Structures are given as structure tokens and as C-alpha cells.
């Protein structure tokens, strides 16, 4: 009887071990993941309700055991768009590395930071980046003036280690305010109007007061984004973030999908290119203005009062042509002309009266008549002269007789 009970006990243990091996829990000290009943959208932010991927390695077994289906790893979407080319920023990441953030989860945060840096247009005159690491204590990993090169920033991020203690979020914000957002640390002076932005990533409830210090930071024109992960306290996120909350508070269910927030932050920080997305109704040319757009027209056209459509530009009708006599409109331009009896001067604007030479041409008929008349006159004069000579001779003869 004892041997039979021993065999039954051995078989029971083998089956129990098989079930445990299939789930990866219990025997190795890991607790099963909890199921959270959280709304899929929080303040209009993007939420990706994906279960926590459990990818813990298990030692091999030679016995035949029953395995449960392995969860599929999260497919991370890497950003493929070009770097943000909008306004420069002084950007500070404030990341929670407290005890509740497991090492593999903290690696996900570091990947998120690297992806964010890759999407930004970084540089001394562009966006400057700093990272503040916090738990019960606060450590500034690098300041705004430390690196201006993406490769150096990403290398420094890859070497960040978790602090693994409490969650002093208020102390972290205060450190960023007093030690990082300063001109000595590389923050640009207020007169330049360079936006100052802080992105806080946390998975827990702050162990200190965040409301007052966050209000001080916002009063100094620091725009705060709050990203909550897993067990994050939503009320605390709202107290930290800038208004409007639906644009500054984000939540993701696990660190496994935090990298998907990269494109969301790209839209928030860089602005949407309405022109490239086709979100405009400009008739001819769309010009992006960061957070909006405006319409323009091609040369030779003018923007109508609706600020969308264009009409052909009639420079002659506007009276700004400078033509002295006549303005003739053409596509996008005009030409000047002169009235009859005038010629256009070299300046192509003014006109001068034409100079006409008067050439007298003799009438052939009139010449012949004059010649005939002259001949008749000459013949008459000759006849009269002959008669005068004859009369003179007769007079002389008469005088002699007397």
C-alpha cells in the first residue's frame, strides 16, 4: 500500500512540474501578471492595451510536459520619418527608475529615449537634450550643454543604470527646474523664446508632493508632458502635466509598448505638417507654419479674400504698371504701348511723339504748264520788243524830216 501511494505521489509531482514549466511562473519566484480593467483612452491620449510579454528563460526538461502557448512579443514600430525640422527646444527627459521598474522594462525606456532623440533635430542651435534619472534620489545623467550630437546622446542613454529605490517625482522635477533648466547647464535665456519642455515617464505614485513644484515649473514657462505606465497614478499625472491635459497626459499599459509613443510625441513636439498630409484646401500652394498652414498663389495670381483660392493678377487694373499711355495685361505681367503718333521709349514705359519729315514733290503736270507759260511770256516780250524797236525807228525818221 505504501508503494502504491509513493507511485501516485511521484506522478502527481511530475504533472505539477509540467504545468509550472509551461507557464514560466511560481517555481522561479515570478508572480503571474495582473489583469487591469483600464479604459483604452485616457484624456484623448494614445493607449496600446497589449498584455505584458513574458519572455523569461526556463531550464530545459527531459520529461514530456505540457506547454502553454507562448505570448507573441510586442512588435515595436521604429520611427522612419526624418528628423523634426520645426522650432528648437530645450528638452529634458525625467525618467523613473524606481524599484517597481524591472530591469528589462527600464531597457524599454532607454530605447524610447533613443528613438525620441533620433526623431529630433538636435544641435547647439537646434534642440538640446538632457536626461534626469530619479528614484528616491535624483541623478542628472547629462545636461543640455553636454552633448549636441545624436550618437553621443544615444550612447550616454545606453549606459544609464536604474537607481532602484523609491519614487520621488517631485524632487526630480525640482532638480530639473533648479539645476538643468538653467543657463549654466545649457538652457537658453528667456529672451530667445526657446520652448522649454519636460517629459516625465513614471509607473507609480509619487512619494512626495508634485503639485506645487510642477506648478512652479509651469509658471517658469516649462511645458510638462506626463507619461504613465502600468500602475501609474492618473491623478498625479494630471497634477504634473500642462494644460490642456488631453494633449499632455499619456498612458500605456506596459513598458513593452512605450516606444510606440515616439510618433505621438513627434506630432506633439514638431507639429503636424498639414500640407504634406493633405489636410488643407489651398488651391495652389500650401505653406506649413508648424502648428497650422497658410495658402499662397503662383506668380501672376493673387490670393482671394477666402485665403484659399487664387485669381489671375491684372496689374493693369491695379494701376501699378507705370505705363504713360496704354497698359496691356499678360499672364503674371504686362507691357506698355503708345497711342498713334507716338513711339515707346527705351524705358518701355514712356512715349515720345513721332518726328515726320515733310518732302515736297513737284507735280509733273504743273511743271510743264509753267514752262509753256514761260515760253508764251518770253514770246510776247520778244514781240513787244520788236514792235518797240520798229516804232523807235519810225520816230527817228519823222524827226529828221521836220
Integer angstrom CA distances of residue 300 from 263, 270, 309, 320: 40, 33, 13, 14
- Confidence (pLDDT) at 69: 38
- Confidence (pLDDT) at 253: 87
pLDDT-derived band at 277, boundaries 50, 70, 90: low
Are 121 and 155 in a shared domain?
Answer: yes
Which residue did the predictor score with more confidence, 353 or 35? 353
- Confidence (pLDDT) at 11: 56
Q: Where are the beta strands (DSSP E) in 161-221?
A: 196-202
Instruction: Give the domain-ending residue among 240, 270, 300.
Output: 270
- Confidence (pLDDT) at 371: 76
- CATH (domain of 345): 2.10.25.10
The predicted model gives 216-227 an average pLDDT of 95
Are 223 and 83 in a shared domain?
Answer: yes
Are 163 and 290 in a shared domain?
Answer: no
Are 146 and 228 in a shared domain?
Answer: yes
The pair phi, psi for residue 92, each rounded to 5°, is -120, 125
- Nearest in space to 122 (alpha carbons), one of 142, 94, 96: 142
Instruction: Kindly report, residue by residue over 308-334, the tens digit of the pLDDT.
Output: 999 887 778 777 778 988 988 876 678
Name the residue with cell 504686362.
334
* β-pair partners for 334: 329
- 235 found inside a domain: yes
- CATH (domain of 140): 3.40.50.410
Which residue did the predictor score with more confidence, 143 or 365? 143
- 299 found inside a domain: yes
Q: With contact defined as beta carbons under 8 Å apart, do 318 and 304 qualify?
A: no
Are 135 and 184 in a shared domain?
Answer: yes
* β-pair partners for 344: 351
Instruction: Give the domain-ending residue among 270, 299, 322.
Output: 270
- 134 found inside a domain: yes
Instruction: Kindly report, residue by residue over 172-219, the tens digit of the pLDDT.
Output: 999 999 999 999 999 999 999 899 999 999 998 999 999 999 999 999
The predicted model gives 223-246 an average pLDDT of 92
Q: Count CB atoms within 10 A of the CB of residue 309.
A: 15
103-119 helix and 261-270 helix, angle to the nearest 10 degrees: 40
- 301 found inside a domain: yes
Q: Is the pLDDT of residue 272 over 80?
A: no
Q: In total, how many domains does the chain have?
A: 2
Helices (H), 99-163: 103-119, 150-158
Helices (H), 224-348: 234-240, 245-248, 261-270, 274-277, 315-318
Q: Could you tell me how many residues make up the chain?
A: 402
- Nearest in space to 138 (alpha carbons), one of 111, 168, 107: 168
pLDDT-derived band at 8, boundaries 50, 70, 90: low
Are 94 and 224 in a shared domain?
Answer: yes
Are 192 and 312 in a shared domain?
Answer: no
- 125 found inside a domain: yes
Say how far apart CA 254 and CA 48 lie, in whole Å: 8
The predicted model gives 52-74 an average pLDDT of 35
Integer angstrom CA distances of residue 322 from 335, 347, 350, 354: 10, 11, 8, 21
- Nearest in space to 338 (alpha carbons), one of 330, 348, 329: 348
State the cell numbers at 100.
517597481
Are 128 and 256 in a shared domain?
Answer: yes
**According to the per-residue pLDDT averaged within each range, which of 250-264, 270-284, 349-363 is highest?**
250-264
- 367 found inside a domain: no
Say how far apart CA 263 and CA 269 lie, in whole Å: 10
Q: Which residues contact 42 (CB under 8 A, 6 or more apart)?
A: 228, 234, 249, 250, 251
Q: Count CB atoms within 10 A of the CB of residue 274.
A: 19
Q: Return mean pLDDT, the chain.
A: 77
The H or E element spanning position 6 is helix 2-23
Instruction: Kindly report, residue by residue over 92-126, the tens digit of the pLDDT.
Output: 999 999 998 999 999 999 999 999 998 888 999 99
The predicted model gives 252-258 an average pLDDT of 86
Q: With contact defined as beta carbons under 8 Å apart, do 266 and 81 qualify?
A: yes
Are 181 and 259 in a shared domain?
Answer: yes
- Nearest in space to 199 (alpha carbons), one of 89, 123, 124: 89
| DSSP structure string for 23-48 | HT-STTSPPPPPP----S-STT----
Are 86 and 191 in a shared domain?
Answer: yes
State the cell numbers at 47.
493607449
- Confidence (pLDDT) at 33: 36
- 255 found inside a domain: yes
Say how far apart CA 198 and CA 204 lie, in whole Å: 18
Per the structure, the complete domain to which residue 110 belongs is given by 76-270
- Confidence (pLDDT) at 197: 95
Which residue did the predictor score with more confidence, 239 or 288? 239
State the cell numbers at 90.
530645450
Strands 196-202 and 222-229: parallel
- Confidence (pLDDT) at 336: 92
The predicted model gives 262-282 an average pLDDT of 71
Are 307 and 250 in a shared domain?
Answer: no
- 341 found inside a domain: yes
Q: Is the pLDDT of residue 86 over 80?
A: no
How are the residues of the chain apportioned to helix, strand and coil, as percentages rounded to the nearest 5?
35, 15, 45
Give the CA angle between residues 195, 201, 203 to the nearest 5°.
Answer: 160
**According to the per-residue pLDDT averaged within each range, which of 47-51, 164-168, 315-319, 390-394 is highest?**
164-168
Are 223 and 348 in a shared domain?
Answer: no
Integer angstrom CA distances of residue 221 from 100, 201, 214, 226, 250: 31, 20, 11, 16, 20
Q: Which segment of 49-58, 175-184, 201-210, 267-276 scores lowest on mean pLDDT?
A: 49-58
Amino acid at each position: 500500500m505504501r508503494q502504491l501511494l509513493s507511485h501516485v505521489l511521484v506522478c502527481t509531482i511530475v504533472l505539477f512540474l509540467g504545468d509550472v514549466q509551461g507557464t514560466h511562473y511560481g517555481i522561479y519566484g515570478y508572480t503571474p501578471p495582473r489583469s487591469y480593467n483600464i479604459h483604452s483612452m485616457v484624456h484623448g491620449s494614445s493607449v496600446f492595451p497589449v498584455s505584458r510579454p513574458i519572455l523569461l528563460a526556463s531550464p530545459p526538461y527531459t520529461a514530456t510536459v505540457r506547454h502553454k502557448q507562448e505570448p507573441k512579443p510586442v512588435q515595436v514600430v521604429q520611427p522612419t520619418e526624418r528628423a523634426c525640422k520645426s522650432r528648437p527646444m530645450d528638452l529634458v527627459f525625467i525618467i523613473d527608475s524606481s524599484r517597481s521598474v524591472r530591469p528589462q522594462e527600464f531597457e524599454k525606456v532607454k530605447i524610447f529615449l533613443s528613438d525620441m532623440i533620433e526623431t529630433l533635430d538636435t544641435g547647439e542651435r537646434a534642440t538640446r537634450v538632457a536626461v534626469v534619472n530619479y528614484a528616491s534620489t535624483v541623478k542628472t545623467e547629462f545636461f543640455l550643454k553636454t552633448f549636441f550630437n545624436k550618437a553621443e546622446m544615444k550612447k550616454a542613454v545606453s549606459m544609464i543604470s536604474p537607481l532602484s529605490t523609491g519614487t520621488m517625482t517631485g524632487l526630480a522635477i525640482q532638480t530639473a527646474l533648479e539645476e538643468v533648466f538653467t543657463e549654466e547647464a545649457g538652457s537658453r535665456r528667456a529672451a530667445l523664446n526657446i520652448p522649454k519642455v519636460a517629459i516625465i515617464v513614471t509607473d507609480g505614485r509619487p512619494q512626495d508632493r508634485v503639485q506645487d513644484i510642477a506648478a512652479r515649473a509651469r509658471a517658469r514657462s516649462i511645458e510638462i508632458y506626463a507619461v504613465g505606465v502600468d500602475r501609474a497614478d492618473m491623478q498625479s499625472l494630471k497634477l504634473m502635466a500642462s494644460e490642456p491635459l488631453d494633449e499632455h497626459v499619456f498612458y500605456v499599459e506596459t513598458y513593452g509598448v512605450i516606444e510606440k509613443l515616439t510618433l505621438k510625441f513627434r506630432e506633439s513636439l514638431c507639429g503636424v505638417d498639414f500640407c504634406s498630409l493633405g489636410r488643407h484646401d489651398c488651391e495652389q500652394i500650401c505653406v506649413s507654419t508648424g502648428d497650422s498652414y497658410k495658402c499662397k498663389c503662383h506668380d501672376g495670381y493673387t490670393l482671394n479674400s477666402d485665403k484659399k483660392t487664387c485669381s489671375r493678377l491684372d496689374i493693369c487694373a491695379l494701376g501699378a504698371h507705370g505705363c504713360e499711355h496704354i497698359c496691356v495685361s499678360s499672364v503674371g505681367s504686362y507691357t506698355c504701348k503708345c497711342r498713334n503718333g507716338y513711339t515707346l521709349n527705351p524705358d518701355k514705359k514712356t512715349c515720345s511723339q513721332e518726328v515726320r519729315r515733310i518732302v515736297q514733290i513737284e507735280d509733273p503736270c504743273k511743271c510743264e504748264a509753267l514752262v509753256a507759260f514761260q515760253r508764251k511770256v518770253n514770246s510776247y516780250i520778244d514781240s513787244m520788243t520788236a514792235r518797240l524797236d520798229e516804232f523807235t525807228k519810225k520816230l527817228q525818221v519823222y524827226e529828221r524830216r521836220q
